[in-house]
Amino acid sequence: MSAEPVERTADATEQAGWTASARSQTAAVVGLLDRPLTSYYLVLGCTMMLLGLGLTMVLSASSVSQLQKTGSAFTLVQKQAMWMALGLPAMWVAARLQVKAFRALAYPLLLLSAIALSMALIPGLGREAGGATRWIDFGFVQLQPSEPAKLALVLWGADLLARKEKLKLLTDWRQLLVPLLPATGVLVLLVMFGSDLGTTLVLLTIFLALLWVIGAPGRLFLGMSGLICLLVAILIVVEPYRMRRLTGFLDPSGDPLGDRYQGMQGLYAVATGGWFGTGLGESRAKWDYLPHAETDFIFAIIGEELGLIGTLVVLGLFGLLAYAGLRIARRVKDPFMRLAASGATAWLVVQAIVNIGAVIGVLPITGIPLPLVSYGGSALIPTLIALGMLLAFAKREPGARQALAARGPGPASRALSWLGLARR
């Protein structure tokens, strides 16, 4: 007997072993994704990792400018840590609320958001930044009311459509749009009076996501999408600084020291990072080359200091967050939870795409922050509350309650028990 058939048999056996191993590993990964608490841990894990990365990068991106302005490199990171200290307990509370509590908060939050957006337009009270009147200046603190308006629209729109679906009213296309479209229009108009196109895009994305999930007819959805595209085009044309941004984006040969300056500096920063980056804290762009490095363009500093690997990690985390949010929306039974989870996921993911797209030069600059990473408490706290809401919904997926009960008490409960303060 020749050695060649024996070698072929050995190769075939080895190949079969590799195939079986790959199949078993794939089955193990699929098994992990099918567990009841997968969504819960994905949302929690991605949130914590993005928060940690964001706090680190805010310190790195703002250290030079804050040292020049205030004499301390830690001014903004201390403020961001304070906002996190307020936002994380709010997220913890939201993760423990009942679904009816979110529905009860929807209408008051929408009304308060509309009032706050109106207050931002009052001369002397509203403050302009980057060409847009986005802030309410209370003296000791400045708030951006358009951020909680996103959460308000998610909750109110989901509650409205869920009630109509329960009453079987959504067979008429007019019931799909009234009063959802007028209310969204009021928020959009108030935001646009403050010249904030980025937030307008996010609000309109939430509106379209709610229509898509509730099952709006294709013609209606396409018609609304076309109308929104036309509206956005008009808003760009009528505002000179937006038109300059758009023409600067479309014309690579434009003035590199004018309207294209920020975008080009962001691209230079990302390109400088290479595969592994220049090292944490070693950015050159933050030395007064890149405007708004700690807010709108923090992704550029990540690309420069942590390289392609760092940017892929950020993209992966947002991808996992999107998967978890859509998984929650698909697995929960309650229509309100399905709509609210979809709306919140669309808000966070589209905002991240628009921010990152502007940094890498594939989308025009709109001035919206990168969720959980960019500096800013007005954006951070509503985002954490929305993620807490997703955690609350994840605990209501099939089998999740049983899995949580089998897991036993968490660290907080064990600590309270040790102190004699836990419920008996």
pLDDT tens profile 380-406: 999 999 999 999 999 998 888 788 777
| Structure-block tokens of residue 422 | 């836990």
pLDDT in tens, 67-90: 999 999 999 999 999 999 999 999
Residue 22 lies in a domain: no
Count CA atoms closer than 13 A to 60's CA, side-chain side: 26
Instruction: Give the DSSP H/E element, type plus range, for residue 133.
Output: strand 132-137
Residue 11 lies in a domain: no
Return d(Cα 62, Cα 289) in angstroms, integer: 12
The pLDDT, as a whole number, for residue 327 is: 96
Instruction: Please give the span between the terminal C-alpha atoms of the chain, in angstroms, as a whole number.
Output: 77
Return d(Cα 89, Cα 134) in angstroms, integer: 26
The pLDDT, as a whole number, for residue 252 is: 67
Token pair 């302009």 is found at: 128
Residue 401 lies in a domain: no
The pLDDT, as a whole number, for residue 26 is: 53
The pLDDT, as a whole number, for residue 251 is: 72
Q: Are 254 and 247 in contact (CB under 8 A)?
A: yes
Residue numbers of the domain that contains 303? 38-396
Show the low-confidence residues of the chain (pLDDT under 50): 414-416, 418-419, 421-424
Residue 33 lies in a domain: no
The pLDDT, as a whole number, for residue 331 is: 95
Residue 331 lies in a domain: yes
Residue 74 lies in a domain: yes
Residue 372 lies in a domain: yes
Coil, strand or helix: which one is 57? Answer: helix
Residue 417 lies in a domain: no
The pLDDT, as a whole number, for residue 411 is: 52
Read off the pTM.
Answer: 0.89
Number of domains forming the structure of the chain? 1
The pLDDT, as a whole number, for residue 55 is: 96
Task: Give the DSSP per-residue string, 218-282.
Answer: HHHHHHHHHHHHHHHHHHHHHSHHHHHHHHHHH-TTS-TTTTTHHHHHHHHHHHHHTTT-S-TT-
